[in-house]
Amino acid sequence: MAVQINPSILSADFSRLAEEARAVEGADWLHVDVMDNHFVPNLTLGVPIVESLSRATDTPLDCHLMIEDPDRWAPQYVEAGAGSVTFHAEAAAAPVRLAREIRAKGARASMALKPATPIEPYEDLLPELDMLLIMTVEPGFGGQAFLDIMLPKIRRTRELIAKHGLELWLQVDGGVSDTTIERCAEAGADVFVAGSAVYGASDPAEAVRALRAKADGACRH
């Protein structure tokens, strides 16, 4: 597995997003949390900000849609410049059709699961995806503590991916830090979203490098 580190812009200074995006250009992706104050109790960024970010950085954008009706809105994020778009299984009316539409528009298609949503009912959908996101906190707010009870779910998901012989990225989001990333990697994750662990550091680029080293070490182990 190739480790990928995706800093979450949710923890950045919103008054200087272009600078904050450039501060982590050694990262693999820039994670953009889109919240609508309906699916989750918070309101953040939308299509115009994604369009602006796509022009401000060469780092590809990984948009995580915590919104209602992603079937309608997700394709617009591809058009705005996102290289990867994640919709929630709990919100999508037709996840297979949506994943295929995202892919047809030229982006990677990803599906997210809240902590209480099991992976097993979605096993047959895995070949339609490029990435699966296991939330390791309840979606809606940054800075939450990592939920250790999600580690068995990460392991089960990795087993299902291996069972079907898929080249599917397994992303974790929520409470990922220098004290939790190794456990996530050992459980089978290979894409890591980190917000405050990166943007709360005095040197965000160095924080990305340190997180990558820890995850790499755990994967080799």
CB of 183 closer than 8 Å to CB of 215: no
pLDDT digits (tens, 9 = 90+) for 149-186: 999 999 999 999 999 999 999 999 999 999 999 999 99
Over range 4-25, report the average pLDDT.
Answer: 95
Sheet holding 84-88, edge to edge: 4-7, 191-194, 169-173, 131-135, 108-113, 84-88, 61-66, 30-35
Q: How many residues does the chain have?
A: 221
- Taking 90 as the threshold, does the pLDDT of residue 143 lie above it? no
The average pLDDT across 17-26 equals 94
- pLDDT of the residue at 64: 98
Residue 8 is assigned to a ligand binding site: yes
How sure is the predictor about 73, in pLDDT bands with cuts at 50, 70 and 90? very high
pLDDT at 221 over 80: no
Q: Which pLDDT band holds residue 140 (cuts at 50, 70, 90)?
A: confident
Q: What is the mean pLDDT of residues 13-37?
A: 95
Asked whether the predicted pLDDT for residue 1 surpasses 80, the reply is no
Residue 129 dihedral angles phi and psi, to the nearest 5°: -110, 155
Residue 66 has pLDDT above 80, yes or no: yes
Mean pLDDT score of the chain, rounded to an integer?
Answer: 96
User: Strand, coil or helix: what is 122?
Assistant: helix
Helix (H) or strand (E) holding 169: strand 169-173
Q: What is the CA radius of gyration of the chain?
A: 16
Confidence class of residue 217 from pLDDT cuts 50, 70 and 90?
A: very high
Mean pLDDT of 6-12: 96
**Predicted local distance difference test score (pLDDT) of residue 219:** 84
Residues marked as catalytic: 33, 173
Q: What is the C-alpha to C-alpha distance for residues 126 and 96, in angstroms, rounded to an integer?
A: 9
33 annotated to bind ligand? yes
14-18, 93-97, 105-109: the lowest-pLDDT one:
14-18
Q: Quick one: angle between helices 95-104 and 70-80, nearest 10?
A: 10
The reply, when asked if residue 202 is annotated as ligand binding, is no
- 141 labeled binding residue: yes
For residue 71, give the nearest of 43, 48, 102 by alpha carbon. Answer: 102
Q: What global pTM score does this model have?
A: 0.96
Name the band, by pLDDT with cuts 50, 70 and 90, for residue 121. very high
Alpha helices by DSSP H, listed for the chain, are 17-22, 47-56, 70-80, 95-104, 151-163, 181-187, 196-199, 204-220
Average pLDDT of the segment spanning 82-103:
98
Helix axes 70-80, 47-56, angle to 10 degrees: 20
pLDDT band for position 141 (cuts 50, 70, 90): confident
- From the list 116, 120, 152, the residue with the least C-alpha distance to 135 is 116
- The predicted pLDDT at position 160 comes to 98
